[in-house]
Protein backbone atom coordinates (compact mmCIF):
# COMPACT_ATOMS: atom_id res chain seq x y z
CA UNK A 1 0.00 0.00 0.00
CA UNK A 2 1.52 3.31 -1.11
CA UNK A 3 -0.07 6.43 0.36
CA UNK A 4 0.50 10.15 0.00
CA UNK A 5 0.75 12.48 2.99
CA UNK A 6 -2.99 12.70 3.62
CA UNK A 7 -3.69 9.00 3.25
CA UNK A 8 -1.17 8.08 5.94
CA UNK A 9 -2.87 4.79 6.72
CA UNK A 10 -3.32 5.49 10.41
CA UNK A 11 -7.07 5.09 10.28
CA UNK A 12 -6.93 2.40 7.61
CA UNK A 13 -5.13 0.26 10.19
CA UNK A 14 -8.50 -0.13 11.92
CA UNK A 15 -9.43 -2.55 9.15
CA UNK A 16 -8.44 -6.17 9.47
CA UNK A 17 -4.74 -6.64 8.77
CA UNK A 18 -5.36 -8.74 5.66
CA UNK A 19 -7.73 -6.17 4.20
CA UNK A 20 -5.59 -3.14 5.09
CA UNK A 21 -2.72 -4.65 3.12
CA UNK A 22 -4.96 -4.84 0.05
CA UNK A 23 -5.55 -1.10 -0.24
CA UNK A 24 -3.74 0.11 -3.35
CA UNK A 25 -3.31 3.89 -3.56
CA UNK A 26 -2.81 5.55 -6.95
CA UNK A 27 -2.17 9.31 -6.99
CA UNK A 28 -3.89 9.44 -10.38
CA UNK A 29 -5.59 7.03 -12.74
CA UNK A 30 -8.12 6.97 -15.54
CA UNK A 31 -10.80 4.98 -13.74
CA UNK A 32 -10.54 3.00 -10.52
CA UNK A 33 -12.94 0.43 -11.99
CA UNK A 34 -10.66 -0.07 -14.99
CA UNK A 35 -7.58 -0.35 -12.77
CA UNK A 36 -9.36 -2.77 -10.45
CA UNK A 37 -10.44 -4.94 -13.38
CA UNK A 38 -6.87 -5.02 -14.66
CA UNK A 39 -5.58 -6.09 -11.25
CA UNK A 40 -8.37 -8.64 -10.81
CA UNK A 41 -7.45 -10.26 -14.11
CA UNK A 42 -3.91 -10.56 -12.74
CA UNK A 43 -5.22 -12.34 -9.64
CA UNK A 44 -5.81 -9.57 -7.10
CA UNK A 45 -7.61 -11.16 -4.13
CA UNK A 46 -11.10 -10.69 -2.79
CA UNK A 47 -11.62 -7.37 -0.94
CA UNK A 48 -8.73 -5.59 -2.67
CA UNK A 49 -9.34 -1.84 -2.85
CA UNK A 50 -8.09 0.56 -5.52
CA UNK A 51 -8.09 4.11 -4.15
CA UNK A 52 -7.12 7.24 -6.05
CA UNK A 53 -6.76 10.95 -5.47
CA UNK A 54 -7.63 11.93 -9.02
CA UNK A 55 -9.60 10.17 -11.75
CA UNK A 56 -9.16 11.49 -15.27
CA UNK A 57 -11.86 9.26 -16.78
CA UNK A 58 -14.17 8.49 -13.89
CA UNK A 59 -17.59 7.29 -14.95
CA UNK A 60 -20.96 6.37 -13.52
CA UNK A 61 -23.82 4.28 -14.80
CA UNK A 62 -24.62 4.49 -18.52
CA UNK A 63 -21.14 5.90 -19.14
CA UNK A 64 -21.87 9.26 -17.54
CA UNK A 65 -18.80 11.12 -16.32
CA UNK A 66 -18.11 11.30 -12.59
CA UNK A 67 -16.17 14.46 -11.81
CA UNK A 68 -14.85 15.40 -8.39
CA UNK A 69 -12.03 17.88 -7.64
CA UNK A 70 -8.86 16.20 -6.28
CA UNK A 71 -8.66 16.27 -2.51
CA UNK A 72 -12.40 16.77 -2.05
CA UNK A 73 -13.99 13.37 -2.56
CA UNK A 74 -13.60 9.62 -2.40
CA UNK A 75 -12.98 7.52 -5.49
CA UNK A 76 -12.32 3.85 -4.93
CA UNK A 77 -13.19 0.42 -6.28
CA UNK A 78 -13.55 -2.82 -4.39
CA UNK A 79 -12.63 -6.13 -6.04
CA UNK A 80 -14.98 -8.94 -5.03
CA UNK A 81 -14.86 -12.66 -5.77
CA UNK A 82 -18.29 -13.70 -4.44
CA UNK A 83 -18.92 -17.29 -3.44
CA UNK A 84 -22.57 -16.87 -4.43
CA UNK A 85 -23.82 -17.78 -7.90
CA UNK A 86 -23.30 -15.10 -10.59
CA UNK A 87 -27.09 -14.80 -10.91
CA UNK A 88 -27.05 -13.09 -7.49
CA UNK A 89 -24.23 -10.65 -8.19
CA UNK A 90 -26.60 -7.90 -9.33
CA UNK A 91 -27.67 -7.65 -5.67
CA UNK A 92 -24.27 -6.16 -4.88
CA UNK A 93 -25.57 -2.81 -6.13
CA UNK A 94 -28.17 -2.79 -3.35
CA UNK A 95 -25.63 -4.02 -0.80
CA UNK A 96 -23.11 -1.33 -1.72
CA UNK A 97 -25.63 1.50 -1.68
CA UNK A 98 -26.92 0.46 1.73
CA UNK A 99 -23.41 0.11 3.14
CA UNK A 100 -22.44 3.59 1.96
CA UNK A 101 -25.55 5.08 3.55
CA UNK A 102 -24.88 3.21 6.80
CA UNK A 103 -21.25 4.30 6.74
CA UNK A 104 -22.39 7.93 6.85
CA UNK A 105 -24.38 7.32 10.05
CA UNK A 106 -21.15 7.71 12.03
CA UNK A 107 -20.94 11.34 10.90
CA UNK A 108 -24.45 12.29 11.95
CA UNK A 109 -26.00 12.19 8.50
CA UNK A 110 -29.33 10.56 7.71
CA UNK A 111 -28.68 9.04 4.29
CA UNK A 112 -31.21 7.36 2.04
CA UNK A 113 -30.83 5.00 -0.92
CA UNK A 114 -32.23 5.57 -4.39
CA UNK A 115 -32.80 2.33 -6.29
CA UNK A 116 -30.65 0.69 -7.35
CA UNK A 117 -27.41 2.18 -6.03
CA UNK A 118 -27.32 5.93 -5.39
CA UNK A 119 -27.07 7.49 -1.95
CA UNK A 120 -28.98 10.67 -1.16
CA UNK A 121 -28.93 13.14 1.71
CA UNK A 122 -31.63 15.79 2.09
CA UNK A 123 -32.99 15.05 -1.37
CA UNK A 124 -29.60 15.41 -3.07
CA UNK A 125 -27.10 12.88 -4.41
CA UNK A 126 -23.99 12.42 -2.31
CA UNK A 127 -22.68 9.12 -3.67
CA UNK A 128 -22.87 7.06 -6.85
CA UNK A 129 -21.95 3.42 -7.35
CA UNK A 130 -20.98 1.49 -10.47
CA UNK A 131 -21.01 -2.32 -10.33
CA UNK A 132 -19.39 -4.23 -13.19
CA UNK A 133 -19.13 -8.02 -13.38
CA UNK A 134 -16.58 -10.12 -15.23
CA UNK A 135 -15.72 -13.79 -15.34
CA UNK A 136 -15.05 -14.79 -11.74
CA UNK A 137 -15.10 -11.35 -10.12
CA UNK A 138 -17.01 -8.11 -9.64
CA UNK A 139 -15.70 -4.56 -9.27
CA UNK A 140 -17.72 -2.09 -7.20
CA UNK A 141 -16.79 1.51 -7.88
CA UNK A 142 -17.75 4.27 -5.45
CA UNK A 143 -17.65 8.02 -5.92
CA UNK A 144 -18.59 10.09 -2.88
CA UNK A 145 -18.62 13.85 -2.33
CA UNK A 146 -16.83 14.57 0.94
CA UNK A 147 -15.44 18.11 1.10
CA UNK A 148 -16.86 19.44 -2.16
CA UNK A 149 -18.42 22.89 -1.74
CA UNK A 150 -19.28 23.79 -5.34
CA UNK A 151 -20.82 21.72 -8.13
CA UNK A 152 -20.97 22.41 -11.88
CA UNK A 153 -24.19 23.50 -13.49
CA UNK A 154 -26.28 21.09 -15.52
CA UNK A 155 -26.08 18.05 -13.23
CA UNK A 156 -28.77 15.43 -13.81
CA UNK A 157 -29.63 15.51 -10.10
CA UNK A 158 -28.95 18.06 -7.33
CA UNK A 159 -25.76 17.15 -5.47
CA UNK A 160 -24.42 17.63 -1.97
CA UNK A 161 -21.44 16.65 0.17
CA UNK A 162 -20.61 15.88 3.78
CA UNK A 163 -18.99 19.28 4.16
CA UNK A 164 -22.08 21.10 2.90
CA UNK A 165 -24.41 19.09 5.12
CA UNK A 166 -22.27 19.24 8.25
CA UNK A 167 -20.79 22.70 7.84
CA UNK A 168 -17.25 21.41 8.29
CA UNK A 169 -14.60 19.40 6.51
CA UNK A 170 -14.35 15.69 7.19
CA UNK A 171 -11.47 13.21 7.11
CA UNK A 172 -11.83 11.24 3.90
CA UNK A 173 -9.88 8.37 5.41
CA UNK A 174 -12.37 8.14 8.28
CA UNK A 175 -15.27 8.03 5.81
CA UNK A 176 -13.54 5.35 3.75
CA UNK A 177 -12.96 3.10 6.75
CA UNK A 178 -16.50 3.57 8.06
CA UNK A 179 -17.96 2.61 4.67
CA UNK A 180 -15.64 -0.35 4.09
CA UNK A 181 -16.54 -1.82 7.47
CA UNK A 182 -20.22 -1.69 6.55
CA UNK A 183 -19.50 -3.07 3.07
CA UNK A 184 -17.76 -6.14 4.40
CA UNK A 185 -20.89 -7.16 6.26
CA UNK A 186 -23.47 -6.27 3.60
CA UNK A 187 -21.76 -7.98 0.66
CA UNK A 188 -22.03 -11.23 2.59
CA UNK A 189 -25.84 -10.92 2.56
CA UNK A 190 -26.55 -11.23 -1.17
CA UNK A 191 -27.34 -14.90 -0.65
CA UNK A 192 -28.95 -16.35 2.47
CA UNK A 193 -29.04 -12.99 4.26
CA UNK A 194 -30.72 -11.10 1.45
CA UNK A 195 -34.01 -10.75 3.33
CA UNK A 196 -32.29 -8.90 6.17
CA UNK A 197 -30.45 -6.72 3.67
CA UNK A 198 -33.71 -5.82 1.91
CA UNK A 199 -35.43 -4.98 5.19
CA UNK A 200 -32.70 -2.51 6.10
CA UNK A 201 -32.54 -1.17 2.55
CA UNK A 202 -36.30 -0.56 2.44
CA UNK A 203 -36.23 1.62 5.55
CA UNK A 204 -33.90 4.02 3.71
CA UNK A 205 -35.55 3.97 0.28
CA UNK A 206 -36.17 7.54 -0.90
CA UNK A 207 -38.46 6.46 -3.76
CA UNK A 208 -41.12 4.50 -1.88
CA UNK A 209 -44.47 6.29 -1.97
CA UNK A 210 -43.33 8.76 -4.62
CA UNK A 211 -44.30 9.15 -8.26
CA UNK A 212 -41.44 8.58 -10.69
CA UNK A 213 -40.65 8.44 -14.37
CA UNK A 214 -38.08 5.92 -15.59
CA UNK A 215 -36.66 4.36 -18.70
CA UNK A 216 -36.82 0.55 -18.59
CA UNK A 217 -35.17 -0.99 -21.62
CA UNK A 218 -36.11 1.94 -23.84
CA UNK A 219 -39.70 2.04 -22.57
CA UNK A 220 -40.73 5.11 -20.57
CA UNK A 221 -42.84 4.27 -17.52
CA UNK A 222 -44.57 6.48 -14.99
CA UNK A 223 -46.00 5.33 -11.70
CA UNK A 224 -45.80 5.27 -7.94
CA UNK A 225 -43.06 3.26 -6.24
CA UNK A 226 -44.51 0.70 -3.83
CA UNK A 227 -41.12 -0.62 -2.68
CA UNK A 228 -38.84 -3.42 -3.77
CA UNK A 229 -39.58 -7.10 -4.24
CA UNK A 230 -38.01 -10.05 -2.44
CA UNK A 231 -35.63 -10.31 -5.41
CA UNK A 232 -34.60 -6.64 -5.31
CA UNK A 233 -36.78 -5.44 -8.19
CA UNK A 234 -38.47 -2.04 -8.05
CA UNK A 235 -42.24 -2.40 -7.62
CA UNK A 236 -44.01 0.25 -9.65
CA UNK A 237 -47.76 0.88 -9.66
CA UNK A 238 -48.72 2.18 -13.09
CA UNK A 239 -52.07 2.92 -14.70
CA UNK A 240 -52.25 -0.74 -15.76
CA UNK A 241 -51.30 -2.30 -12.42
CA UNK A 242 -48.22 -3.41 -10.53
CA UNK A 243 -45.00 -3.97 -12.43
CA UNK A 244 -41.63 -5.28 -11.32
CA UNK A 245 -38.68 -3.47 -12.84
CA UNK A 246 -35.32 -5.24 -12.81
CA UNK A 247 -33.25 -2.52 -14.50
CA UNK A 248 -33.96 1.10 -15.30
CA UNK A 249 -32.21 4.27 -16.32
CA UNK A 250 -32.92 7.91 -15.55
CA UNK A 251 -35.25 7.44 -12.61
CA UNK A 252 -36.68 10.85 -11.79
CA UNK A 253 -38.96 11.92 -9.00
CA UNK A 254 -42.10 13.71 -10.17
CA UNK A 255 -43.21 16.66 -8.07
Mean pLDDT of all residues belonging to the chain = 88
Q: In which domain, by residue range, is 42 found?
A: 12-203
pLDDT at 58: 63
Query: Is the domain of 136 the same as that of 100?
Result: yes
> Residue 232 above 60 pLDDT?
yes
Query: Is the domain of 215 the same as that of 193?
Result: no
Query: Is the domain of 196 the same as that of 103?
Result: yes
**pLDDT tens across 200-215, in order?**
999 999 999 999 999 8
Q: In this structure, are residues 92 and 82 in contact, taking their beta carbons and an 8 Å threshold? A: yes
Query: Is the domain of 137 the same as that of 186?
Result: yes
pLDDT at 101: 98
Q: Is residue 1 part of a domain?
A: no
* Domain end residue (candidates: 183, 203, 223): 203
Q: Is residue 53 part of a domain?
A: yes
Q: Is residue 85 part of a domain?
A: yes
Query: Is the domain of 163 the same as that of 232?
Result: no
> Residue 2 above 50 pLDDT?
no
Q: What confidence tier does 70 reach under pLDDT thresholds 50, 70, 90?
A: confident
> Residue 186 above 90 pLDDT?
yes
Neighbours of 117 (CB within 10 A): 23
Query: Is the domain of 158 the same as that of 243?
Result: no
Instruction: Please give the tally of structural domains in the chain.
Output: 2
Residues in the chain: 255
**pLDDT tens across 112-153, in order?**
999 988 999 999 999 999 999 999 999 999 999 999 998 877
Q: Is residue 70 part of a domain?
A: yes
Bridge partners for 124 per DSSP: 121
Q: Is residue 75 part of a domain?
A: yes
Tell which wins on pLDDT, 249 or 115.
Answer: 115
Query: Is the domain of 188 the same as that of 232?
Result: no
pLDDT at 209: 96
> Residue 5 above 50 pLDDT?
no
pLDDT at 20: 56
**pLDDT tens across 218-230, in order?**
889 999 999 999 9
Distance between CA atoms of 170 and 179, rounded to whole angstroms? 14
Q: Is residue 2 part of a domain?
A: no
CATH number of the domain enclosing 248: 2.30.30.100
Q: Is 215 left (phi over 0), alpha (psi -120 to 50) or beta?
A: beta
Query: Is the domain of 81 the same as that of 166?
Result: yes
Query: Is the domain of 243 the same as that of 180?
Result: no
Q: Please calculate the CA angle 44-96-119 and round it to the nearest 5 degrees.
A: 135
**pLDDT tens across 6-52, in order?**
555 556 666 665 665 688 888 899 899 999 999 999 999 999 999 99
CATH number of the domain enclosing 36: 3.30.930.10
What mean pLDDT do residues 151-172 have?
A: 87
Query: Is the domain of 105 the same as that of 153?
Result: yes
Query: Is the domain of 198 the same as that of 79?
Result: yes
Query: Is the domain of 68 the same as that of 37?
Result: yes
Q: Is residue 4 part of a domain?
A: no
> Residue 60 above 60 pLDDT?
no
Q: Is residue 30 part of a domain?
A: yes
Amino acid sequence: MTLDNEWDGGILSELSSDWAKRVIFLPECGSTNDEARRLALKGAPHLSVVLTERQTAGRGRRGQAWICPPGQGLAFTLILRPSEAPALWSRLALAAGLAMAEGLDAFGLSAGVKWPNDVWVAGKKICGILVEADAGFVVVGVGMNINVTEFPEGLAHPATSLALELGRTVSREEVLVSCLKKLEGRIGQIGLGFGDLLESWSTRCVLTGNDVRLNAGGVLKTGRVEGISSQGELILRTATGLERVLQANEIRLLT
